[in-house]
Amino acid sequence: MAARASGETTVTSVSILRPPLRTGDWDLRVRAIPLDFDWVLLVIDDLSEENRVAAVRRDFIANVSHELKTPVGAVALLSEALVAARDDPKAVSHFAEKMQIETERLSNLIQDVIDLGRLQGEDPLENARVVPLPEIADSAVEFVRGAADAKNITLALSAAPDSDVFGERDQIETAMRNVLANAIAYSSPHTQVAISVRPNGAIVEITVRDQGIGIPETELDRIFERFYRVDAARSRVTGGTGLGLSIVRNVCRNHGGDVQVWSAPGEGSTFTLQLPRYQKSSQDNSSSIEEKP
């Protein structure tokens, strides 16, 4: 009406409840362009997805800033304490050790944010190639061996051949490391963490089973969210960032797979990463794929 009366293009934003369930908003931008003979052209753009992505990004930046504040604030306070205690060697080493823990947390967080950023980039599988999972599992196990040894946790790996996937080696290894590191961090000393890699039809399953503290059923849906921790105080002790499992889920989904969890408090947890299996067909000239840079 306004466009017709004024003869000028008008732009309005409208938010309506999304049919048919009327849950969630549908953000529309409506442009009314007056034409000849009392006709008005309506151009309607759906901005819901754009707005949702912008909100997620805003949220993420707010969360990261908040998470960075804690270790940075602690380092500032500890350095003041260090200066004040310069004549007391015992106190100096005590504060210096605490500073090391805080800087490690800071560097974990920065590394996780970099990993997540890369995973959510334009082309998350830029360097995809055939990846032999048993080899990656071996290397992920070696990466966490020090942490396991420190708690006398036994690592048992079983990997079946024919467990190849087509994807990014580094991403898959990061995902395996994250799940393994959690299994160790949330388990008591003298327990076992078992990792198995085996093909199951068109997919390959990587299963990491621990005998740790477990996760309450009500929390199982939420642990894959960014910055979500079941017990924030405990996670702080383990140096966790709350980003590990969201990285795992992103990696699996980028590869066309997913991640599942089973857990019982006091009994342990089992994380299963499912990735589409790479099967070389007889006509397939896979060397052209493998040689891709």
Cα–Cα dist 247/245, whole Å:
5
What number of chain residues touch ligand ADP (CB under 6 A)?
A: 23
Contact region for ligand ADP (CB under 6 A) — 12-20, 78-86, 141-149, 213-221? Answer: 213-221
Contact region for ligand ADP (CB under 6 A) — 36-44, 45-53, 226-234, 274-282? Answer: 226-234
In the set 235, 250, 254, 272, which binds ligand ADP (CB under 6 A)?
A: 235
Cβ-based neighbours of 196, under 8 Å, separated by 6 or more = 157, 158, 159, 205, 206, 207, 209
Least separation in angstroms between residue 245's CB and ligand ADP is: 3
Q: How do 192-200 and 258-264 pair as beta strands?
A: unpaired
In the set 137, 215, 252, 275, which binds ligand ADP (CB under 6 A)?
A: 215
Return the closest-CA partner of residue 258 out of 205, 200, 193, 188.
Answer: 205
In the set 163, 171, 211, 269, which binds ligand ADP (CB under 6 A)?
A: 269
Buried b (16+ CB within 10 A) or exposed e, 246-276: bbbbbbbebbebebebebeeeebbbbbbbbe
- For residue 202, the SS3 value is coil
By beta-carbon proximity to ligand ADP, the closer residue of 73 and 216 is: 216
Strand order, beta sheet including 192-200: 154-159, 192-200, 203-210, 268-276, 258-264
Judged by CB under 6 A, does residue 144 bind ligand ADP?
Answer: no
Least separation in angstroms between residue 68's CB and ligand ADP is: 15
Q: 244-254 vs 89-119: helix axis angle to the nearest 10?
A: 20
Return the closest-CA partner of residue 251 out of 163, 177, 150.
Answer: 177
Judged by CB under 6 A, does residue 195 bind ligand ADP?
Answer: no
Contact region for ligand ADP (CB under 6 A) — 26-34, 71-79, 165-173, 212-220? Answer: 212-220
Judged by CB under 6 A, does residue 250 bind ligand ADP?
Answer: no
Cα–Cα dist 228/224, whole Å:
7
- Residue 231 has a CB neighbour count (10 Å cut-off) of 14
153-182: which residues touch ligand ADP (CB under 6 A)?
Answer: 178, 182
Judged by CB under 6 A, does residue 240 bind ligand ADP?
Answer: yes
Q: How do 258-264 and 268-276 pair as beta strands?
A: antiparallel
Contact region for ligand ADP (CB under 6 A) — 21-29, 32-40, 142-150, 228-236? Answer: 228-236
In the set 186, 204, 206, 257, which binds ligand ADP (CB under 6 A)?
A: 186
19-58: which residues touch ligand ADP (CB under 6 A)?
Answer: none
Judged by CB under 6 A, does residue 213 bind ligand ADP?
Answer: yes
Element spanning 94, H or E: helix 89-119
**Binding stretches for ligand ADP (CB under 6 A):** 178, 182-183, 186, 210, 212-215, 223, 228-231, 235, 240-246, 269
